[in-house]
Structure 1
Amino acid sequence: MKKDDTLFDELHTSLKQAVAIRKGEMQPSRVFKVETIDVKATREKTRLSQREFAEAIQVSVRTLQNWEQGHRNPTGPAVALLKIVASAPDVAVRALRA
């Protein structure tokens, strides 16, 4: 069997598995959970403008706008910071401005 045939067979098998998973006939080997945070709602809890909030969390206004509009998602430390702000907005803003 040639290398191209092997690749095709593996791809064909993968597609069959994907269809079976979609139909509920098979469980996926792993599931990736993408955590989202409502950045706009979080900012609104602080009663800060986009500019003020972006300055407080040290990102550009454009980055904040992209997060709020769902064009991009915050990652890593930004997610952790936004969770803190969401859970205790007044305390977080006070700490960020200190």
Structure 2
Amino acid sequence: METTLFDDLVQSLKEARAISKGEAPASRRFEVTPPDARAVREQIGLSQSEFASLMQVSVKTLQNWEQHRRHPTGPAAALLKIVSSAPEVALKSLHA
């Protein structure tokens, strides 16, 4: 390996360590916030049990999202975003 390439790699690792320890700011940061679960549910006019069934989560999980005790992550957050932006398409696809 070229010494300049190795030196760049070592420098990158040092920067990553400093960022992870909070000693240096990250050069870029992306935060994706899922839509408000209650607002999405009310937008499409479903009860908590109907919406939980649609999202394939328990009613308790949905209640935790709606009361902001927990936040949807991963596929659930993506599905909430789809349902909020294209509710007709999402409902048609999920009920098929």
TM-score (norm 1): 0.66
| CA positional deviation for 1:32 | 6.0
Query: What stretches of structure 1 of length at least 5 have no aligned partner?
Result: 1-13, 18-27
Quote the residue 1:29 is aligned against: 25
Q: CA RMSD for the aligned pairs?
A: 2.0
Alignment partners' CA distance in 2, 1:64 and 1:93: 17
Q: 1:38 aligns with which of 36, 39, 42?
A: 36
Cα deviation code 1:54-87 (max 9, x no counterpart):
0011000000000000000000011110000000
Residue number in structure 1 paired with 2:65:
67
Shift in Å, 1:89 = 1.1
Q: TM-score, normalised by structure 2?
A: 0.67
Tell me the number of residue pairs that the alignment of Structure 1 and Structure 2 aligns: 74
**Residues 66 and 85 (structure 1 numbering): CA distance in 2 closer, same or farther, change over 3 Å?**
same
Identity %: 57
Corresponding residue number in structure 1 for 2:18: none
Instruction: For 2:74, give the aligned amino acid.
Output: G
Partner in structure 1 of residue 45 of structure 2: 47
Could you tell me which runs of 5 or more consecutive residues in structure 2 were left unpaired when the two chains were aligned.
1-20
User: Does residue 86 of structure 1 match 2:74?
Assistant: no
1:77 aligns with 2:75: yes
**CA–CA separation in structure 1 for the residues paired with 2:50 and 2:74:** 21
